[in-house]
Amino acid sequence: MNGKRLSVGLIGLLLWLSGAWGVGSGAWGVAYALLPTPHSLQSPSIPAEGLAQAIAAAAPGDLINVQGGVYSGHLLIDKPLTLIGHDWPVIDGGGEGSVVQITAPGTTVRGFLVQNSGDSLDQENTGIVVEAPNTLVEDNRFEQTLFGIYLRQANNSVVRGNLIHSKPLDVPRRGDGIRVWYSNDVLIENNTVEMGRDVVLWYSERLTVRGNVVNNGRYGLHFMYCDDAHIVQNRLTNNSVGAFLMYSRRMIMENNTVAGNRGPSGYGIGLKDMDDAIVRDNLFLDNRVGAYLDGSPREVDSIGHFQRNVFGYNDIGVEMMPAVRHNEFMGNSFVDNDEQVAIAGGGSSAANNSWTVADQGNYWSDYAGFDANGDGFGDIAYSSERLFENLVAREPNLRLFLYSPAINTLDFAAKAFPIVRPQPKLVDERPFMTPIIPSQVPALPRAAVSWWFVAAFLLLFLALGIVQLSRLRQHPYRFPQLEKQV
């Protein structure tokens, strides 16, 4: 009996809908309104000024479209909502505390200009604080915020496509553009962080950091106790340090461009007590030190892998502490570094690492050997044994004479008289004859045309014009008709 009533009811509903369709689209619109619809069709736009009231009135899971305007003060999102900004609505913290706080899981915030947090480092004043899992913070702009985005115990969250500027303070007074703390399985993707302090990732596992640009800060990336992280296709430029990675295991760093990091330490990448790290297919260009190794790997049964990286135009390509061992270098290209490999404090600990793996070595721009059989590998081993480099390791102030002609004389004498020849820092049995350049790395930004270059070009053009005028005076125009009459 119940089944028959249900069937009759469904047939009646279908006939009613058919009738509604037959009498016109307006009647069908009434019927369609009775069916479940996407939130976007139920949510009219509101100005930013009404954000707090809209959040208070919304049900969990609702979508709130925000059209322009300015919301002033602290904003709390304490239920799972989707907030979508149109025409860059502003959330202004008024220079006090944090601007937006998210405490409900499953929240989305997209398309807002978040500005004017407080400036207290102790209270960690932030643009958006996330304290719940499964949160999406996407395509927002942050201006005049001390910290940009702070994920605190926010597992499975995504931070994507945001543009973050810190407050214009001295570097030690700035906050972190992005900070991730005790948040596992987080994706940090396609963000741009400028003029911040660090991008900090601490005590979090299985992080993915992909496609970000970090410029003009202290540490581009600052890892600590983050196992199984994946760092891929980021551009870390003009910071004090490109990336400093500490106390973690099984980190993979690949296809990144790390350039122009020349602070007091000036590392492109620094590895401190990192186990089973894989660093491959990266560009390390124009840093003070391309890669710095201290206690990495830490465990005796761990191995660090460096594969197909380019260490180019750095003061030092790779620098190691004397106790560093169990790293394997294969297919890397060491191109015109002032010093290809250095041992901090001197010594030959580089010999405790492998420079030829699976019958493949590395490319060295200062290799003076030959390839008689044309197999792409040098027929004699590459040996790093410059006397001047050993002296600099003991007395760094000698670097002042790096480009002095006396240095070549000193190294020539060391080769001619074996009694003063230094012990080799490393030996590569199978050096490549040509460099290997990664193809999937982010391109460096093009340098802007500076005014002095334009002025120099104009001066050159003016000088050429003056020269041409002087030549015209030396060869006056002649009138052939008058000369014939004469």
* Digit-coded pLDDT (tens) for 33-43: 333 333 343 46
- Look at the alpha carbons of 278, 280, 282, 284 in this order and tell me if their dihedral is positive or negative: positive
* pLDDT attached to residue 395: 62
The distance in angstroms from the start CA to the end CA of the chain is: 132
Q: Is 412 exposed, middle or buried (0-12, 13-18, 19+ CB in 10 A)?
A: exposed
Q: Residue 295 and residue 275: Cα distance in Å, rounded? A: 9
Mean pLDDT (whole number) for 247-267: 97
Q: Where on the phi/psi map is residue 192: left (φ > 0), alpha (ψ -120 to 50), or beta?
A: beta
pLDDT surpasses 90 at 394: no
Mean pLDDT (whole number) for 284-292: 98
Q: Residue 351 and residue 320: Cα distance in Å, rounded? A: 11
pLDDT surpasses 70 at 316: yes
Name the range with the highest mean pLDDT among 28-37, 143-152, 317-326, 441-450: 143-152
For the chain, give the percent of residues with pLDDT over 90: 70
Confidence category of residue 133, pLDDT binned at 50, 70, 90: very high
Determine the residue type at 353: N
Regarding predicted confidence, which is higher, 284 or 13?
284
* pLDDT attached to residue 130: 98
Residue 247 tokens read as: 């106390």
Mean pLDDT (whole number) for 381-406: 67
Q: CA dist 475 to 12, 214, 367, 470, 478, Å?
A: 105, 60, 57, 9, 9
Confidence category of residue 415, pLDDT binned at 50, 70, 90: low
* pLDDT attached to residue 343: 87
* pLDDT attached to residue 178: 98
Name the range with the highest mean pLDDT among 34-38, 82-86, 448-452: 82-86
Q: Which phi and psi (to 5°) does residue 195 adopt?
A: 60, 30
Q: Which phi and psi (to 5°) does residue 397 adopt?
A: -65, -20
* pLDDT attached to residue 458: 77
Query: Mind listing the pLDDT tens digit for each residue in 195-221?
Result: 999 999 999 999 999 999 999 999 999
CA 220, chain centre distance (Å): 7
* pLDDT attached to residue 461: 74
pLDDT surpasses 70 at 311: yes
Q: Residue 28 and residue 20: Cα distance in Å, rounded? A: 5
Mean pLDDT (whole number) for 322-333: 96
* pLDDT attached to residue 32: 29
Query: Mind listing the pLDDT tens digit for each residue in 90-121?
Result: 999 999 999 999 999 999 999 999 999 999 99
Sorted by sequence, the CB contacts under 8 Å of residue 64 that are 6+ apart come out as 43, 46, 51, 54, 55, 58, 81, 82, 83, 84
Beta pairing class for 208-210 and 283-285:
unpaired
Q: CA dist 437 to 118, 175, 249, 450, Å?
A: 45, 36, 27, 29
* pLDDT attached to residue 385: 73
* pLDDT attached to residue 430: 97
Window from 216-225, 454-463, 467-476 with minimum mean pLDDT:
467-476
* pLDDT attached to residue 460: 75
Q: Residue 133 and residue 450: Cα distance in Å, rounded? A: 46
Determine the residue type at 337: N
Q: Which residue has the tokens 């600052």?
A: 222
Confidence category of residue 445, pLDDT binned at 50, 70, 90: confident
* pLDDT attached to residue 464: 73
* pLDDT attached to residue 128: 98
The number of CA neighbours under 13 Å toward the Cβ of 29 is 4
Q: Residue 284 and residue 239: Cα distance in Å, rounded? A: 13
pLDDT surpasses 80 at 153: yes
Q: Is 449 exposed, middle or buried (0-12, 13-18, 19+ CB in 10 A)?
A: exposed
Beta pairing class for 382-384 and 426-428:
antiparallel
Q: What is the CA radius of gyration of the chain?
A: 32
Mean pLDDT (whole number) for 70-75: 98
